């Protein structure tokens, strides 16, 4: 019988008959401020599971090693059991969010080269920025592991930029997480969805992601549904 292993902000993780595989159940709720604000949002789990499954299928097909095995049902998927690295790996193609605030840049300033940052995963500390030598001092990852994650995340950025561009969507920035699979390989895990990406319509720059929920500027599901239907049209 499936037992609940862990409940996060947007997902529940369950055991399966295979100790190396877990079932991810996407919840119909949205959070902001590192979980301090939490609200039910109808259909969000189903839409995010479909967006995430489509993106991870695409990345697997393009040769990126990921935890994703298959979509199981509208709100569930099977993934490899991972031991996660306690880092959020952020890539930015345009200025927004904390980068825009920190350096007081114009919104959507385009970078010549993508910017990459690490944050230490800790709700208690509000996920602080962390640099390479701080990561080594805290023994979170070795220099080789950091360089593997950097190489992978830049490849992932290129592939996602191509996918979203075909859908008329600009990938402003995104966050991913890596971990070790049961064979000890450092591979991509967690989730890629409008909860963890900033996405804007390439023409109008309308926000299609969680910023709508964060800033109370409209119905968050309108943007999420647009992202799903446009991605589905590009992979058909």
127 binds ligand UDP (CB under 6 A): yes
Give the one residue of 75, 157, 196, 226 binding ligand UDP; rule: CB under 6 A: 196
Tell me whether residue 11 or residue 175 sits nearer to ligand UDP (CB atom). 175
Give the one residue of 175, 186, 213, 221 binding ligand UDP; rule: CB under 6 A: 175
198 binds ligand UDP (CB under 6 A): yes
Backbone angles phi, psi at 22, to 5 degrees: -125, 155
Minimum distance of ligand UDP from residue 16's CB (angstroms): 26
Per-residue binder mask for ligand UDP (CB under 6 A), 83-122, x = binder = -----x-x-----xxxx-----------------------
Angle between helices 143-166 and 44-61 (to 10 degrees): 110
Chain center to CA of 80 = 16
52 binds ligand UDP (CB under 6 A): no
161 binds ligand UDP (CB under 6 A): no
49 binds ligand UDP (CB under 6 A): no
Give the one residue of 94, 164, 174, 178 binding ligand UDP; rule: CB under 6 A: 174
Contact residues for ligand UDP (CB under 6 A)?
Answer: 88, 90, 96-99, 127, 173-175, 196-198, 210
């Amino acid at each position: 019988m499936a037992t609940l292993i862990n409940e996060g902000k947007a997902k529940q993780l369950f055991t399966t008959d295979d100790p190396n595989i877990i079932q991810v159940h996407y919840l119909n709720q949205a959070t902001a401020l590192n979980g301090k604000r939490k609200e039910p949002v109808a259909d969000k789990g189903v839409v995010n599971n479909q967006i995430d499954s489509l993106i991870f299928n695409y990345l697997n097909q393009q040769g990126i090693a990921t935890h994703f095995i298959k979509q199981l049902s509208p709100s569930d998927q099977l993934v490899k059991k991972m031991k996660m690295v306690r880092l959020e790996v952020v890539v930015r193609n345009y200025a927004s969010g904390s980068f825009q605030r920190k350096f007081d840049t114009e919104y959507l300033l385009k970078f010549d080269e993508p910017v990459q940052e690490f944050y230490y995963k800790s709700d208690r500390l509000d996920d602080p920025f962390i640099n390479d030598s701080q990561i080594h001092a805290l023994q979170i990852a070795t220099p080789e592991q950091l360089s593997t994650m950097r190489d992978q995340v830049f490849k992932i950025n290129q592939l996602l930029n191509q996918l979203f561009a075909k859908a008329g969507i600009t990938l402003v920035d995104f966050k991913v997480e890596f971990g070790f699979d049961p064979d000890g390989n450092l591979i991509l895990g967690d989730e890629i969805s409008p909860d963890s990406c900033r996405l804007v319509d390439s023409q109008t720059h309308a926000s299609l992601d969680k910023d709508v929920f964060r800033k109370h500027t409209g119905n968050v599901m309108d943007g999420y549904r647009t992202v799903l239907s446009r991605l589905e049209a590009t992979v058909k």
